[in-house]
Amino acid sequence: MIKDFILPDIGEGVVECELVEWLVKEGDTVVEDQPIADVMTDKALVQIPAPFAGVVTKLYYAKGDIAKVHAPLYAVQIEGAVEIAGEESVATEPAAATAKVTEPVAATTANTSSSSSVSIEEFLLPDIGEGIVECELVEWLVSEGDWVEEDQPIADVMTDKALVQIPAIKAGKIAKLHYRKGQLAKVHAPLFAIEVKHMASAPAATANTVTAANAAPAAQIVNAEPARQGKALASPAVRRMARSLDIDLSQVPGTGKHGRVYKEDITRFQQGASNVSAPSTTQVKEAEATQASQTQVTTSTVTQRADTVEPIRGVKAVMARMMVESVSSIPHFTYCEEFDLTDLVALRESMKVKYSSDEVKLTMMPFFMKSMSLALSQFPVMNSQVNADCTELTYKARHNIGMAVDSKVGLLVPNIKDVQDKSILEVAAEITRLTQAARSGRVAPADLKDGTISISNIGALGGTVATPIINKPEVAIVALGKLQTLPRFNAKGEVEARQIMQVSWSGDHRVIDGGTIARFCNLWKQYLEQPQEMLLAMR
């Protein structure tokens, strides 16, 4: 069966997104949860996973197109996905019923199926909170093949705000659970599939007979097996604590609302269990009992420590893939230099009060970008791009200078367009706008595209020297170290305090050699160390 994947809501207020990259092609066989595409909203870069396994038959958008939310993104051929109706139910249901219930129940099901039809319906995870687009699957409360009633709890999911229980909206049999425990479920994506029976003219008594017959063996199974830990209402942290102490959460009395179990409840339960076994130790010497108690406390403390595993998703996953591709395909080389920015710092301080506002922050970055643009005019190869097989070099006419920003969604590199045509104050206004947008995770796709060279300001966090990775397909990137007050000799041989910054270049050695990057850096350094030279070079 060919099924269209409908692009779900991927953010509050988002109605469309840019298709940044297809991670598969038509004809590829994909598995459940495999990344299919990277899309860019006005908030962040999002990776779209496959909810079903199958063969991709059609990609509805090309790279760079704008995809619409709630419209088909791609089509997939799902193997073994069929709808069961009429005579198919007669053939399949008796066999399944014979394996799970008694012979009379199988006969009853076979007789009623002639006047009924069965279809498999997907349950889409609904909106469970304002702004929430995904949640952690904490625990399945049912298994595949279980019969459920309307409003029966199906799963516990954890958002960044609360633990939520998902009920069944229809009665039927669970056909497929699309997520495993601990995975992130997407809002408006299928959570589970349920086999729903549509009765044509079957009497109510027959339906009740089947339900009762199925419920009886199910109850026997539940009574025969120990209670599962997941039946308790508790947060993931509490569940981890219970697992580390080998305690069954279903046996712990919860003191929270609706029986929610807290860490204090586990502690009390553990102490109570110790008290039960206390009479058996009363015959032991007091010193030995005290030592055993101390050992138990120490062991409990140690066992609570556990490694934390966090999946790499979204912007971080895209950044990881791009960095690996850059390092593996571009021969990097590094060049470092020292800048004396004493005069530039004084110039900026004298202008900051007059020209800074809420819309414009006159930092050092606008001076770095404008002077870099002036130097690029003399060394256009630094503003070039090379094709994939390194047979063509394109000299970019626009100076779109990117700046790496440590945002809450990961590393973003928005760029200021056409720096060669902007004044320092205009560049400062753009930097202020993009910095605020990046730190809130709301950078527009257009601001992330078409960069030609990049600056990484590691000095804002305290570093001095770095080996930055080139932002492919650019050919150069520079890292700015922190500004330090250091002693240096002046022209008279006297020691004086100067404002020193280390800069570290990484270049694509396929198109840039050491001499070129050194001469370019010297010109850039001249404009920054002697701001009057930069002013004279402006047009």
Task: State the catalytic residues.
Answer: 509, 513
* CA–CA–CA angle 294, 300, 305 (5° rounding): 135
Q: Phi, psi at residue 478, to the nearest 5°?
A: -125, 140
Residue 43: in which H helix or E strand, if any? Answer: none
Nearest to 456 by CA among 315, 317, 313, 323: 323
Helix, strand, coil percentages for the chain (3-state, nearest 5): 35, 25, 35
* Backbone dihedral angles phi then psi of residue 116, each to the nearest 5 degrees: -145, 165
DSSP, collapsed to helix, strand or coil, labels residue 231 as helix
**113-132 residues labelled b (16+ CB within 10 A) or e (exposed):** beebbbebbbbebeeeeeeb
Count helices and strands in the chain by DSSP H and E runs: 13, 27
* Nearest residue to 89 via CA among 66, 64, 69, 109: 109
CB-based burial of residue 221 (10 Å sphere; 0-12 exposed, 13-18 middle, 19+ buried)? Answer: exposed
Q: Are strands 29-30 and 54-59 parallel, antiparallel or unpaired?
A: antiparallel
- Rounded to an integer, what is the distance from CA 5 to the centroid of its chain? 20
d(CA 104, CA 63): 58
The Cα–Cα gap between 514 and 334 comes to: 9
Q: Following DSSP, what letter does each residue of 288-349 receive, concatenated?
A: HHHHHHHHHHHHHHHHT---------HHHHHHHHHHHHHHHHS-EEEEEEEEE-HHHHHHHH
Cα distance between residue 258 and residue 247, in whole Å: 20
Q: Is 180 strand, coil or helix?
A: coil
Q: Is 438 exposed, middle or buried (0-12, 13-18, 19+ CB in 10 A)?
A: buried
